[in-house]
Amino acid sequence: MTGTEDLLLAPQLPPLLAPRAVDRRIDPFFKAIAAGEAEEEPGLVIHAEDPGAMRLAILLAPETPLREAIGAGFAVSLGLADALGALGPPELAVHFTWPKGILVNRAEAGRLRVASSTGDPDAIPDWLVFALDVALARKSEDPGLDPTRTTLEDEGCVGLSTPRLIESWSRHFLVWLNRFMDEGLRPLHEAWCARCMEIGKPLEEWPGNLSLPHEKSSLFLGLDERGGMLLRQDGETVLLPLHEQLDHPR
């Protein structure tokens, strides 16, 4: 059972996660923020009932300061990459662009968004929200209308339903989150960098579209120990901290 019929089935998530469906017209990101402000239990996964996209947001309650806790976003992205590796065709290539872009076969297919109860990097957030938006099916009849963007359907994931992808993502996400909690950011850092096409390249060769302050001569050196971007500009190393990339700053 796939497509619209499969959408009627609620995704079955691991015990630590609690699914909550919302209408496709509602953005799960802002619903999860409201849930955090209402002090709802962490582990809540709010997902839109949308057959054309996987749009979900997860509510977490960190025990470490924001500058460290925000590294959990790598677990969210890596969980998606592993899910697509399990469900997609063998030739499917999933890459990331810093800080939150998701590429499939070198075209943009999704993004990560982040919100926190605090913007203070040294404060422990009351709640932290990560949202994933991934296009499953194209909205236009012409898949080549914008060559910089794609969908999972266009890249060979025909028949992949939203609930099935959510279920697979949730399992892989928890594996990476447990590693993050037990081992810190290092294993996630290495796995994420292995999927980043921008590292070691000058700005004009980056596959992503970063809306960040940088010079045309910028060279992406890699990530610092907390996931921040290290750039080489005019002979100097510049750091763009990951915790400053919140989509809904407080």
Mode of pairing for the β-strands spanning 128-135 and 94-97:
unpaired
* C-beta separation of 45 from 218 below 8 A: no
From the number of C-beta atoms within 10 Å of its C-beta (0-12, 13-18, 19+), residue 187 rates as: middle
Domains of the chain plus CATH, in order, are 3-193 (3.30.930.10), 203-244 (no CATH)
Q: How confident is the model at residue 144 (pLDDT cuts 50, 70, 90)?
A: low
Q: For the chain, how many residues are written?
A: 250
Could you give the C-alpha distances from 4 to 137, 153, 229, in angstroms and in order? 12, 15, 40
CA angle 121, 125, 129 (to 5 degrees): 105
The least confident of 176-180, 223-227, 232-236, 244-248 is 232-236
Average pLDDT, the chain: 90
Please give the average per-residue pLDDT across 118-141, as a whole number: 92
pLDDT at 4 over 50: no
Please give the average per-residue pLDDT across 243-247, as a whole number: 94
pLDDT at 97 over 50: yes
Phi/psi at 231 (nearest 5 deg)? -115, 145
* Per-residue pLDDT reduced to its tens digit, 182-237: 999 999 999 999 999 889 888 766 655 444 555 556 889 999 999 999 998 888 89
Between CA 224 and CA 192 the distance in angstroms is: 12
Residue 248: the pLDDT is 76
Residue 121: DSSP 8-state: T
Q: How confident is the model at residue 23 (pLDDT cuts 50, 70, 90)?
A: very high
Residue 26: DSSP 8-state: S
* Of the candidates 41, 59, 50, 47, the residue with the CA atom closest to the CA atom of residue 130: 59
Helix (H) or strand (E) holding 212: none
